[in-house]
């Protein structure tokens, strides 16, 4: 600076000041850039590795892959169990091993209990007022507690049993009417699960030809198909506000139709509610609201509005409907293609249940092979392969890598269920992997996680397993199924990706067992 002063003519102090300030600013800017660059390099080293992605566009080929879960699992071979991929402009972390999943969901469960506020989730949940997509707040804790308690207490043996047996009665009648000819079982499965959930939530049973059932079953199938691999608006949220696609509009409309069905039943239950006669899950939620009104607790009442209640019902009804029907569709295909397994299940059922009655909830402890077979189907055909997305609620870490706050995380359930470190010949259908050497049901394998874990684990697990087991048991007890003559089993899915992994429209032949 002395040199500058020596060459500046007298009277140019303003220029001197200007140059002094400029040099200072440049120095500060340079220091800031160096610090930012250093931080970026350090952060980059700590972030989970992953393939290079196009800016803004991301890994579009991966996103378009109908078996995205398998593609993500293959990335682990190169990048390790924690992989960063980019969907649109958003970096997303995929966890591909049970060790990293347990670290995130159990060891650091508070860190990863969030949900991404994507446009479709916020739109369909009426602003995050459900259980599935809501943020982890006191309101969510209250709803999970009420819903979980209602499911456990209301759906004890007799009520669950009645709902399943009533639903299966129609299924068996429809199968008999096929007269041994090949048929696609999907619509019959839809009826069973639609009725099962209607029995649980509304104490109602519909006939197969009922226009209301047909309408809403068709709406739900359309909704699942349209949602498919996800929506463009969830990658680029600005689109939902200024230029939503036709598919986004259709998904919102279809879900609105399903929510209308839920709301109609809720309003009908409110009109004839009787505190001394709690009939179903919906009545349980109304009762919780009534009790809050008696205690005059404004905070609880604000968390149990009509919107909250109908969204909770929709989570149980629609969430339970889709995952359960997808599972039963795969169960039927695997039984038709694995006759030796089917015979062993039937032999166990005949030995325990006999031929004079239907299987019941109380038979479960004595049907280890039947239950193991159901578990194996749930493993090999993971119906929600990437699960529901999580978000980091704070800066955290998994597998030694930094996970910044707000990062979206997917659990690759398919990868867990096909990890050769935990499963011998994972592509082989083998129910005995869930049994001890003496034929009893083994402790659930560590890497079997169809209902997730931690603070966002599925609240319906306590009902879903006995429900599915009872449906499967009645099916095998009453019917023998096989593929049509000359037909080879096709395990390619009808749809896959983010929403669900559904079986193709295969055909079977079924005969009544006597």
Rounded mean pLDDT, 96-125: 95
Query: Per-residue confidence at 496, pLDDT binned at 50, 70, 90?
Result: low
Q: Are 346 and 480 in contact (CB under 8 A)?
A: yes
Model pLDDT for residues 346-391, shown as the tens digit of each residue: 999 999 999 999 999 999 999 999 999 999 999 999 999 999 999 9
Joined tokens for residue 304: 């149990």
Give exposure, 326-364, as e/b (b: 16+ Cβ within 10 Å): bbbbbbbbbbbbbeebbebbbebbeebbeeeebbbbebb
Per residue, what are the HEC states of 63-87? HHCCCHHHHHHHHHHHHCCEEEEEE
Torsion over CA: 116, 117, 120, 125 (sign): positive
Q: What CA dihedral angle connects 281, 285, 288 and 292, to 10 degrees? A: -170
Q: Does residue 340 have a pLDDT over 90? A: yes
Per residue, what are the HEC states of 190-236? HHHHHHHHHHHHHCCCCCCCCHHHHHHHHHHHHHHHHHCCCCHHHHC
As a whole number of angstroms, the longest Cα–Cα distance in the chain is 115
d(CA 303, CA 424): 47
Q: Does residue 113 have a pLDDT over 70? A: yes
Rounded mean pLDDT, 174-184: 95
Would you say domain 47-512 falls under CATH 1.10.3760.10? no
- Which of the residue ranges 149-163, 303-317, 427-441, 448-462 would you say has the lowest mean pLDDT? 149-163
**Pair type for strands 90-95 and 408-411:** parallel
pLDDT at 157: 64
**Whole-number Cα distances in Å, 259 to 73, 310, 438:** 35, 8, 48
pLDDT at 32: 41
Q: Are 402 and 111 in contact (CB under 8 A)?
A: no
Rounded mean pLDDT, 306-315: 93
Q: Does residue 284 have a pLDDT over 70? A: yes
pLDDT at 207: 87
Joined tokens for residue 8: 């500046």
Q: Does residue 270 have a pLDDT over 80? A: yes
**Whole-number Cα distances in Å, 437 to 129, 441, 496, 506:** 47, 9, 36, 35
Give exposure, 10-43, as e/b (b: 16+ Cβ within 10 Å): eeeeeeeeeeeeeeeeeeeeeeeeeeeeeeeeee
d(CA 298, CA 303): 9
Rounded mean pLDDT, 19-37: 44
Q: Does residue 500 have a pLDDT over 80? A: no
Rounded mean pLDDT, 328-349: 98
Model pLDDT for residues 209-256, shown as the tens digit of each residue: 899 988 998 998 889 888 877 899 999 999 999 999 999 999 999 999
Instruction: Give Cα 441 to chain centroid, integer Å.
Output: 26
Q: Does residue 335 have a pLDDT over 90? A: yes
pLDDT at 299: 82
Task: Please tell me whether residue 391 adopts helix, strand or coil conformation.
Answer: strand
Q: Does residue 37 have a pLDDT over 50? A: no
Among residues 289, 290, 268, 286, the alpha carbon closest in space to that of 278 is found at 286
Q: Does residue 24 have a pLDDT over 60? A: no
Q: Does residue 31 have a pLDDT over 60? A: no
Task: Please tell me whether residue 441 adopts helix, strand or coil conformation.
Answer: strand
Q: Does residue 451 have a pLDDT over 70? A: yes
Q: Does residue 40 have a pLDDT over 60? A: no
Query: Per-residue confidence at 438, pLDDT binned at 50, 70, 90?
Result: very high
Between 340 and 204, the more confident residue is: 340
């Amino acid at each position: 600076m002395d040199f500058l002063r020596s060459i500046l003519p007298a009277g140019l102090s303003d220029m001197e000041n200007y140059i002094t300030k400029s040099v200072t600013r440049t120095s500060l800017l340079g220091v800031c850039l160096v610090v930012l660059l250093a931080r970026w390099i350090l952060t980059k080293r700590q972030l989970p590795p992953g393939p290079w992605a196009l800016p803004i566009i991301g890994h579009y080929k991966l996103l378009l892959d109908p078996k995205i879960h398998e593609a993500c699992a293959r990335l682990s071979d190169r990048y390790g169990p924690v992989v960063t991929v980019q969907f649109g402009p958003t970096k997303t972390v995929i966890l591909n091993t049970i060790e990293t999943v347990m670290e995130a969901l159990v060891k650091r469960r508070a860190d990863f209990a969030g949900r991404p506020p994507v446009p479709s989730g916020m739109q369909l949940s009426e602003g995050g007022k459900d259980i599935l997509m809501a943020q982890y707040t006191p309101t969510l804790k209250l709803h999970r507690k009420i819903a979980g308690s209602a499911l456990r207490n209301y759906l004890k043996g007799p009520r669950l049993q009645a709902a399943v047996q009533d639903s299966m009665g129609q299924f068996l009648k429809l199968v008999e009417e096929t007269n041994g000819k090949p048929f696609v079982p999907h619509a019959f499965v839809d009826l069973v699960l639609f009725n099962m959930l209607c029995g649980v939530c509304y104490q109602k049973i519909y006939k197969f030809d009922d226009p209301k059932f047909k309408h809403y079953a068709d709406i739900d199938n359309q909704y699942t198909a349209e949602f498919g691999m996800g929506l463009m608006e969830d990658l680029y949220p600005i689109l939902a506000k200024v230029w939503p696609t036709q598919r986004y509009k259709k998904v919102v409309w279809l879900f609105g139709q399903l929510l209308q069905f839920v709301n109609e039943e809720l309003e009908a239950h409110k009109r004839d509610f009787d505190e001394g006669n709690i009939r179903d899950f919906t009545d349980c939620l109304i009762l919780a609201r009534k009790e809050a009104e008696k205690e005059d607790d404004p905070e609880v009442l604000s968390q149990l509005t009509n919107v909250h209640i109908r969204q909770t019902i929709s989570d149980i009804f629609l969430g339970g409907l889709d995952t359960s029907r997808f599972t039963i569709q795969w169960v039927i295909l695997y039984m038709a293609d694995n006759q030796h397994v089917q015979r062993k299940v039937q032999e166990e059922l005949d030995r325990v249940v006999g031929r004079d009655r239907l299987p019941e909830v109380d038979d479960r402890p004595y049907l280890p092979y039947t239950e193991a077979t159901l578990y194996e189907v749930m493993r090999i055909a993971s119906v929600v392969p990437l699960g529901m997305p999580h978000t980091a609620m704070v800066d955290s870490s998994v597998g030694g890598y930094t996970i910044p706050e707000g990062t979206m995380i997917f659990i690759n359930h398919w990868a867990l269920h096909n990890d050769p470190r935990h499963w011998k010949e994972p592509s082989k259908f083998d129910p005995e992997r869930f049994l001890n050497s003496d034929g009893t049901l083994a402790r659930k394998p560590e890497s079997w996680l169809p209902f997730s874990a931690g603070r966002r684990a599925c609240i319906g697990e306590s009902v879903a397993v006995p429900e599915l087991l009872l449906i499967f048991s009645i099916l095998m007890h009453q019917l023998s199924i096989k593929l049509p003559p000359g037909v080879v089993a096709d395990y390619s899915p009808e749809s896959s990706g983010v929403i669900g992994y559904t079986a193709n429209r295969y055909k079977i032949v079924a005969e009544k067992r006597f």
